[in-house]
Amino acid sequence: MNSSKLIRCFGAILSTAILGAVFAVCLTAPAFAQDAPDVGPKPPLVVKPMESHIGNITGHAADAKYDYRRYCAGCHGDYGDANGENAVWLDPKPRDFTIATFKCRSTLTGTLPTDEDLFNTLKRGIINSNMPIWNTFSNQQRADLVAYIKIFSPRWDKEKAGTPINVPAETPVTLESIAHGKELFTKLECWKCHGPHGEGDGPSASTLTDSKDNPIRPYNFALGKDDSRFKCGVTNEDVYKIFMTGVDGTPMPSFADVIQPNDAWDLVHFLRTLQIHRHSKENDVLMAAHGVIPPYVDKNPPAAAPAPADKAPGGGQ
Amino acid sequence: MRTKKMQFVFLTLLASSSLMFAGTVTGKVTYTGTPVKPKTIDMSKEPSCAKQHATPITTESVVTGPNNALENVVVYISSGAPDDGQVPAQAVTFDQKGCQYLPHVLVMHTDQELKISNDDQTSHNIHPLAKVNTEWNKSQPPGTPPIVTKYDKPEFISVKCNIHPWMHGEFAVLKTNHFDVSKGGGDFKLPNLPPGKYTITAWQEDYGTQTADVTITGNESKEVNFTFKAKAY
């Protein structure tokens, strides 16, 4: 090979390389355009030494680094900001750990959940969402991940978790209890979103958005059979906690200030009858009464009766 | 002796001047361009609220007055205010009446008591979408006592009722007591300002913020005007 040939060959390689580089820049340019130019690269993530305590297990954030990267970051993002590469495809959107607002809590609305609350969410997953049941994890792994998600929000440095609400012993399931629950369902206007039969088709249902303005559906009680479960659990106690503490970040408010503890059990019993395909003691009681919920009669009516609601929905089956 | 007396009088006057000579900033908030037209709210899904309004109400995110005046703009001293930390003892109140928030924009000091009451015959859920402060969401059926709360960090917080999606209000949590909300003519007034350098911020929920610097030297009235560019959508 003579020298002129060598130069020509080199020139060809060079021009190909330049063309390639230009092409690569063109491809990546839109990605640059989306980022604010003055922000620059994100600072490296600092894994603060957060801990979690579930029973006698202590979770350490540092130990969850690999698991978070492998199993969580795809949706929740490396920085916990719900901007993982899969997030755009998901509905509802993944939790944003940087604002530390959590759906499933045993604590009052606006407070941080307990470590157990977060641990249980990992354990059972969230139905009607893309959050799976993480039953391949050991309890230690789950505890470590609970500690890890605390590194993303400064709230965990300043605030303590809320105090779990007091859940009194469940009252007996009676037809009267179900009838009172139905009365509450009407009076507290649960049906405005969840629909008169709990099918998630109330008059406001189509307008609902979460706190990030994404459309969100109210829970449809009638779906599912014996495997039917709620976002935050399966037991009657879980149902009790859901409406008393509210589902933060969604339109579902807290009723802790407005429902008395025993009345809350009545509402739980009525809600169970909305799960028409699920076997339950509540449905057994209702079946024994031929599926008819009698009108509720208040044995101790308050001195001044509140004005009647505008529209009494149906309910029961 | 006489000069000493004169000196004393002069000094007393000087000492009291900082209290007596309080400046005032007045001005007008206006817009340029064509703002979005207020939409009529259909409350037929909530008859108990609909019947409270002789004529249907309209959306309040942009409220205009004559001569391009812009209402409901919060104008406040964002820097240099002399009373940081003085929390008023009296509570501010936020009412839900006729499925509407009264007032639409509520200004409060950080840590000032906030009372939210429901005067309607229907349940509301109060959902202030706080980002800096803590977000919460509570149900308030008719006849229940007011919700009493407060915010500890300055923030502009949108408030909504998920049951009645047209309901929309704003909390302006400020770290100052020197504020005003522009009225019908777009006018605002910030009185009782001791001499000093101030930054004045005007905030409109759809149009964002604007700032202006002003120096008060004595018992004077300064005029500061803000003009927002209206968004067509």
Write the pLDDT tens digit of every residue in B185-209. 999 999 988 899 999 999 999 999 9
Residue predicted with more confidence, B218 or B115: B115
Q: Where in chain A is the domain with CATH 1.10.760.10?
A: 51-158, 175-288
- Cα–Cα nearest to B173, from B136, B115, B133: B133
What is the distance in angstroms between the Cα of A216 and the nearest Cα belonging to chain B?
Answer: 11
Domains belonging to chain B, first-starting first, are 22-81+179-233 (2.60.40.1120), 85-175 (2.60.40.420)
- Quick one: which of A227, A303, A315 has its CA closest to A267? A315
The residue type at B53: H
Over range B160-172, report the average pLDDT: 96
Buried-state track A270-293, b at ≥16 Cβ within 10 A, e below 16? bbbbbbbebebebbebbeeeeeeb
CATH, range A51-158: 1.10.760.10
Contacts of A207 in chain B (CB under 8 A): 162, 165
pLDDT tens across A7-54, in order? 555 555 555 555 454 444 444 444 444 445 556 677 788 899 999 999
Contacts of A253 in chain B (CB under 8 A): 125-127, 137-139, 162
Q: A81-105, pLDDT tens digit by residue?
A: 999 999 999 999 999 999 999 999 9
Q: Retrieve residue B168's tokens.
A: 């929309």
Contact B135 A187 (CB under 8 A): no
Query: Which residues, 6+ apart, have CB-to-CB distance to A176 below 8 Å?
Result: A296
Nearest to B136 among A110, A204, A306 (CB): A110
Q: Which CATH class is domain A175-288?
A: mainly alpha
Which of B144-174 are b and which e, b meaning 16 or more Cβ less than 10 Å from the residue's Cβ? eeebeebbeebbbbbbbbbbbbbbbbbbbbb
By CB atoms closer than 10 A (0-12, 13-18, 19+), residue A47 is middle
- Residue B50 pLDDT greater than 90, yes or no: yes
- What single-letter amino acid sits at A263? D
**CB–CB of B163/B142 below 8 Å?**
no
pLDDT band at A167 (very low <50, low <70, confident <90, very high): very high
- Contacts of residue B45 in chain A, CB cutoff 8 Å? 203-204
Q: Take residue A268 and report the two structure tokens written for it.
A: 């739980």
Identify the pLDDT of residue A93. Answer: 93
The half-sphere exposure of A188 on its side-chain side, counting CA atoms within 13 A, is 26
Phi-psi region of A100 (alpha: psi -120 to 50; beta: other; left: phi over 0): left
What pLDDT, in 10s, does the model give residues B90-105? 999 999 999 999 999 9
Chain-wide mean pLDDT for chain B? Answer: 90
Question: In the prediction, which pLDDT does A156 show?
Answer: 96
Of B123, B114, B149, the closest CA to residue A258 belongs to B123
Q: Which residues of A touch B138 (CB under 8 A)?
A: 109, 246, 253-254, 257
Q: What is the pLDDT of residue A227?
A: 85
Q: What's the pLDDT band for A263 if we cut at 50, 70, 90?
A: very high
Residue A6 has pLDDT above 60, yes or no: no
DSSP state of A68: I
* Structure confidence at residue A303 (pLDDT): 58
Among A110, A187, A246, select the one facing B141 at the smallest CB separation. A187
For residue B84, the one-letter residue type is: D
Q: Report the residue from A101, A192, A306 with minimal CB separation from B163.
A: A192
**Torsion, Cα of A207, A211, A213, A217 (10° steps):** -40
On whether the CB atoms of residues A113 and A107 are closer than 8 A, the answer is yes
Q: Is A257 exposed, middle or buried (0-12, 13-18, 19+ CB in 10 A)?
A: middle
Question: Are β-strands B23-32 and B221-223 bridged in parallel, bridged antiparallel, or unpaired?
Answer: parallel
Residue A170's identity, in one-letter code, is: E
- Are the CB atoms for A122 and A71 separated by under 8 Å? no
Cis peptide before A92 (omega within 30 of 0): yes
A248 close contact with B: CB closer than 8 A: yes
